[in-house]
């Protein structure tokens, strides 16, 4: 189902069927060749485009540089930027087909809405903001700042997060601030803090060009960061390729590549990641694969770690995880004997049992081998959203801006002085409130005003029936600002129409710290406003002032907000002081820190093996990984880390909910390559929607046979919390596991605003998940629940699951003719060219670009 033809020198391809595009293999240590991907709306020719506007993709965390095509005041397509260090011109299916089509959808919110009885009705901005301010002031008078909560996103701009953080922390003084980043990558930040003393990605995408082995821990990269996977494929298909090791309970494309490269696919039972990691760590110790001199000089805690993992023999791991003991040995040997290993980690670890401990264990492997801070040796604890990193940096997730320690009085005073407020206004008497607790407070009415921006918790939070009840209740006044009337906005008291990507200006930072500027390309529709302007309007209406009597928020434009943010990062690990809008209007994004010492940015951290762990500088004093108990300042100071990294471990314990006679299977949720989060944007792209139009559930052939289930049958999946009814894919999960994509709520493309899919709430994967979370990162465990699957009725064909990636049908199942899955295809033609321009590489002289990587 692939088709190619050349048109004016460009290679045209259906990028729904061919997810990754044409291969451009290259050898180790050479530059990844550029290939520019471009897609324009049907009927729009390239020469008819009025302008190309600089930006970066907003539909995963990779942060691909691109330009937006504008014609007649509308966004009509995108083109990758050949000189950008992130993507070298490439774009994935979501970026190509989903970046712009939502913007002109008929159901865009264009005017504010307020609730009148059981209806939302249109109104003007003064009335809508007046209601919010009236309720806000009344709650402050009656209950104080703890009556306010903010739940935001990983998709706003840096300038908007920072403005919101100042409003919440210095204007209101509430600790109740978090984002949906808590659901996807809070564990990334927590793991960095525990091991290295502060957040911040140590590795770089350029490590792919140098490594000898790639370990992907719970990371289905082909579907979550497709362009980054294309980068890996161009190494594994070139000379001197790296071996791949995959840790995933499904036989994903990563697993297939592991088999092809002589690596290993480890498929542990859901909820047993830490047991596997402890076994791999033990193998490094017992086989002498530890760089003892480096460990002695640059880490602390090695003896305790060795004691923790000592019982975890390969046979013990095999018994717990259901993997082969020799496969554990093989994977450990690859790690122990390779000169350079790049590890990536994502939701399979973050959303599972003992998330922080398992993710920290990945750091332990690298620290024991001294594999950090040099080309080809690093860690990428991935993000799930394009601006999740900014949320963490700026403090809209509850942390203090600039990776400051809320438990360090001098850090709090730095911010209070910068904002010119009393230090006691800034909440720091207890840890910031995480999202799961915020919704519990809203459930009881302790939080009386909950402001939700650019996220859809009615679909994405665990136990979604409970979340809908909280949002629809009278105990809490709910404000939602978004592009559309989402499942969450339907339940709000006030809905504010927001401008989206391309309709406003701002910056955002991707997984490996690369900062991009997104310029405004078009005007937002109707009365929609940027999130920055909405937050500024609230601050003005509330009359927030500093100690000098001046407005608390002194900036009015995105660029002024950026400059204010950069100023408070001075001297911190996340130093933006050398960045400006003018500097970012260049050929590529720039990775922080950027300052006088690093004027062109920093490709990878910790090249000097000095970590931000000093007691007076670190972002946290740390936690017990098993219990979440905090380490005090006194205890931390007594350890005298002095720039050394922490080796930390914890013993494996079983998940909160194990299979039983009533619920004998293990339920896990995840993503498909064609959709992003709850489909707010991707569901409005016909190409992407048709590639994955409806929800499904995946079972192994053995589990399907045992239950009399054939491909495409309607099945009921139940857990102790709820049930869904969807069609079955007999797929590539391990026996005993059940996989469901979480993207689908009751909204359906083509329905009226607020309209429903025929199955309404019967396809929400999070009806079944649990309200439990990791003790350190507080990230909910979407991937560990018990369930049962029963057949409801025969289907009328194959399931709607795609056939191109991990949801492909199992090769081990004999499908009836009428149920054989059809090949996924249907994307409009997308052009790819290999330009003469070389990717902009100011930071990695180790790469040999003389041969162009060919």
What tens digit of pLDDT does each residue of 141-192 get?
999 999 999 999 999 999 999 999 999 999 999 999 999 999 988 999 999 9
- Count other Cβ atoms within 10 Å, centred on residue 436: 18
In this prediction, what percent of the chain has a pLDDT beyond 90?
A: 91
Q: Please give the pLDDT value at position 749.
A: 86
Mean pLDDT over residues 698-705, rounded? 97
- pLDDT reading at 7 higher than 60: no
Average pLDDT of the chain to the nearest whole number: 94
* Average pLDDT, integer, range 698-703: 97
Specify the pLDDT at position 812: 81
Query: Rounded distance, CA 493 to CA 307, Å?
Result: 55
CATH of domain 11-104+829-848: 2.20.25.90
pLDDT tens per residue across span 500-540: 999 999 999 999 999 999 999 999 999 999 999 999 999 99
pLDDT value at residue 375: 98
Q: Could you tell me the pLDDT band of residue 15, with boundaries at 50, 70 and 90?
A: very high
CATH number 3.40.228.10 given to 186-382: yes
Least confident of 88-102, 368-382, 604-618, 801-815: 801-815
Summarize pLDDT for 394-443 with one digit per residue, the tens.
999 989 999 999 999 999 999 999 999 999 999 999 999 999 999 999 99
Residue 286 pLDDT? 98
Q: DSSP letter for 236, please.
A: H
Cα 647 to Cα 640: distance, rounded to the nearest angstrom: 14
Considering only CA atoms, which of 600, 593, 564 is closest in space to residue 576? 593
CA–CA gap between residue 568 and residue 551 (Å, rounded) = 18
Predicted confidence (pLDDT) at residue 75 exceeds the cutoff of 80: yes
- Give residue 423's pLDDT: 97
Predicted pLDDT of residue 840: 56
Relative to beta strand 264-266, strand 243-247 is parallel
**Nearby residues of 254 by Cβ (< 8 Å), 6 or more positions away:** 216, 219, 220, 221, 222, 229, 244, 246, 248
Q: Work out the number of other CB atoms within 10 angstroms of the CB of residue 6.
A: 9
The least confident of 104-108, 545-549, 839-843 is 839-843
How deeply is 544 buried, as exposed, middle or buried, from its count of CB atoms within 10 A (0-12, 13-18, 19+)?
A: middle
pLDDT of residue 256: 97
Residue 296 burial (CB count, 10 A): 11
Residue 4: its pLDDT value, please? 25
Helix pair 531-542, 158-166: axis angle to 10 deg: 20
Q: How far, CA to CA in Å, does 87 sit from each of 34, 55, 189, 839, 852?
A: 8, 13, 24, 9, 15
pLDDT-wise least confident of 224-228, 742-746, 845-849: 845-849
Domain formed by 113-184+387-500+535-578, architecture:
3-Layer(aba) Sandwich (3.40)
State the pLDDT confidence band at 755, using cuts at 50, 70 and 90: low
Could you read off the pLDDT of 773-829 as tens digits, one per residue? 999 999 999 998 999 999 999 999 999 999 999 999 998 877 776 666 767 766 766
Q: pLDDT digits over 188-206, tens only?
A: 999 999 999 999 999 999 9
CA distances from 664 to 45, 321, 720, 730 (A): 55, 16, 12, 18
Q: Report the topology of domain 665-819.
A: Barwin-like endoglucanases (2.40.40)
pLDDT the model gives residue 767:
94
Write the Ramachandran bin of 373: left for phi over 0, alpha for psi from -120 to 50, otherwise beta: left
Which of 344-348, 725-729, 759-763 shows the lowest per-residue confidence on average (mean pLDDT)?
759-763
Q: Which of residues 759 and 92 earns the better pLDDT score? A: 92
SS (H, E, C) 428-491: CCCCCCCHHHHHHHHHHCCCCEEEEECCCHHHHCCCHHHHHHHHHCCCCEEEEEECCCCCCHHH
* Residue of higher predicted confidence among 602 and 843: 602
Domain boundaries, the chain: 11-104+829-848, 113-184+387-500+535-578, 186-382, 665-819
Percentage of residues in the chain with pLDDT exceeding 70? 93
pLDDT at position 842, please?
Answer: 56
Query: What does the pLDDT read at residue 519?
Result: 98
Task: Pick the more confident residue, 287 or 841.
Answer: 287
C-alpha distances in Å from residue 737, one per residue of 352, 727, 742, 768, 774: 14, 16, 16, 14, 21
Distance in angstroms (rounded) separating the CA atoms of residues 850 and 192 = 36
| Confidence band for 849, pLDDT divided at 50, 70 and 90 | very low
Question: What is the chain's length?
Answer: 854
* Contact indicator for 742, 782 with CB cutoff of 8 Å: yes
Packed helices 464-472 and 435-444: angle between N→C axes, nearest 10 degrees: 50
- Strand, helix or coil for residue 273: helix
Q: Quick one: DSSP state of residue 168?
A: I
pLDDT score of 850: 37
CB atoms within 10 A of CB 648: 23
| The pLDDT of residue 9 | 42
Cβ(506)–Cβ(498) under 8 Å? no
Q: How many CB atoms lie within 10 A of CB 130?
A: 15
167: which DSSP letter? I
């Amino acid at each position: 189902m692939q088709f190619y033809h050349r048109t004016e020198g460009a290679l045209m391809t259906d990028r729904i069927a061919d997810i990754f595009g044409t291969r451009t293999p290259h050898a180790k240590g050479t530059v990844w060749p550029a290939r520019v991907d471009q897609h324009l709306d049907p009927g729009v020719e390239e020469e008819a485009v009025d302008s190309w506007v600089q930006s970066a993709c907003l539909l995963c965390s990779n942060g691909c540089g691109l330009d937006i095509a504008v014609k007649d005041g509308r966004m009509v397509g995108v083109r990758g930027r050949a000189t950008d260090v992130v993507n070298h011109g490439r774009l994935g299916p979501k970026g190509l087909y989903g970046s712009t089509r939502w913007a002109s959808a008929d159901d865009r919110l264009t005017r504010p809405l307020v609730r009148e009885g059981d209806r939302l009705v249109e109104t003007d901005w003064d009335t809508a903001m007046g209601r919010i301010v009236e309720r806000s002031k009344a709650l402050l008078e009656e209950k104080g700042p703890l009556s306010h909560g903010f739940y935001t996103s990983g998709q706003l701009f840096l300038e908007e997060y920072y403005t919101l953080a100042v409003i919440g922390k210095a204007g209101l003084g509430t600790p109740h601030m978090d984002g949906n980043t808590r659901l996807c990558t809070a564990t990334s930040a927590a793991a960095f803090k525990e091991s290295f003393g502060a957040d911040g990605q140590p590795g770089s995408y350029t490590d792919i060009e140098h490594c000898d082995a790639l370990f992907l821990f719970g990371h289905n990269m082909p579907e979550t960061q497709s362009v980054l996977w294309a980068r890996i494929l161009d190494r594994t298909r070139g000379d001197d390729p790296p071996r791949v090791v995959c840790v995933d309970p499904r036989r994903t494309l990563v697993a297939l590549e592991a088999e092809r490269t002589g690596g290993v696919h480890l498929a542990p039972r859901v909820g047993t990641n830490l047991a596997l990691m402890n076994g791999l760590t033990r193998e490094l110790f017992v086989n002498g694969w530890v760089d003892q001199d480096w460990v002695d000089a640059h880490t602390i805690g090695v003896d305790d770690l060795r004691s923790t993992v000592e019982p975890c023999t390969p046979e013990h791991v095999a018994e717990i995880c259901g993997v082969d003991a020799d496969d554990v040995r093989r994977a450990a040997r690859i790690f122990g004997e390779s000169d350079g290993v790049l590890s990536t980690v994502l939701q399979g670890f973050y959303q599972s049992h003992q998330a922080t401990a398992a993710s920290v264990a990945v750091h332990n492997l690298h620290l024991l081998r001294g594999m950090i801070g040099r080309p080809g040796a690093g860690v990428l604890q991935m993000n799930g959203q394009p601006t999740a990193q900014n949320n963490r940096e700026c403090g809209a997730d509850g942390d203090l801006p600039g990776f400051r320690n809320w438990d360090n009085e001098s850090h709090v005073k730095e911010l209070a002085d910068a904002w010119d407020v009393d230090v006691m206004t800034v909440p720091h008497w207890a840890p910031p409130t995480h999202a799961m607790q915020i919704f519990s407070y809203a459930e009881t009415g302790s939080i009386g005003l909950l402001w939700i921006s650019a996220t859809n918790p009615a679909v994405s939070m665990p136990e979604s029936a409970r979340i809908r009840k909280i949002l629809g209740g009278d105990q809490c006044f709910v404000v939602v600002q978004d592009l559309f009337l989402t499942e969450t906005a339907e339940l709000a008291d006030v809905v504010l129409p927001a401008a989206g990507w391309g309709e406003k200006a701002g910056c955002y930072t991707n997984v490996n710290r690369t900062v991009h500027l997104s310029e405004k390309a078009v005007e937002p529709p109707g009365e929609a406003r940027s999130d920055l302007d909405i937050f500024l309007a609230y601050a003005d209406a509330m009359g927030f002032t500093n100690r000098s009597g001046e407005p608390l928020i002194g900036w009015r434009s995105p660029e002024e907000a950026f400059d204010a943010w950069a100023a408070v990062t001075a001297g911190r690990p996340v130093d933006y002081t050398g960045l400006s809008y003018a500097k970012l209007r260049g050929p590529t994004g720039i990775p922080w820190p950027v300052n006088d010492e690093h004027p062109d940015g920093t490709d990878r951290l910790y090249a000097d093996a000095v970590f931000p762990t000093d007691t007076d500088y670190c972002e946290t004093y740390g936690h017990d990984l098993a219990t979440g108990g905090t380490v005090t300042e006194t205890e931390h100071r007594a350890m005298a880390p002095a720039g050394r990294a922490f080796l930390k471990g914890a013993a494996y314990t079983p998940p909160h909910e194990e299979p039983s006679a009533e619920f004998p299977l293990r339920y896990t949720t995840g993503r498909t390559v064609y959709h992003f989060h709850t489909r707010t944007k991707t569901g409005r792209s016909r190409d992407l929607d048709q590639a994955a139009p409806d929800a499904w559930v995946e079972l192994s052939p053995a589990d399907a046979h045992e239950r009399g289930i054939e491909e495409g049958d309607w099945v009921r999946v139940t857990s102790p919390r709820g049930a869904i009814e969807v069609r079955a894919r007999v797929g590539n999960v391990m026996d005993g596991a059940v996989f469901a994509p979480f993207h689908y709520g009751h909204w359906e493309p083509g329905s009226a605003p607020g309209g429903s899919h025929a199955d309404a709430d019967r396809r929400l994967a999070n009806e079944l998940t649990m309200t439990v979370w990791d003790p350190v990162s507080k990230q909910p465990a979407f991937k560990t629940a018990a369930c049962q699957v029963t057949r409801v009725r025969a289907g009328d064909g194959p399931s709607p699951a795609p056939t191109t990636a991990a949801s492909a049908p199992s090769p081990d199942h004999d499908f009836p003719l009428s149920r054989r899955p059809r090949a996924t295809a249907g994307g409009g033609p997308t052009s790819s060219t290999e330009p003469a321009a070389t990717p902009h590489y100011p930071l990695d002289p180790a790469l040999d670009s003389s041969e162009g990587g060919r």
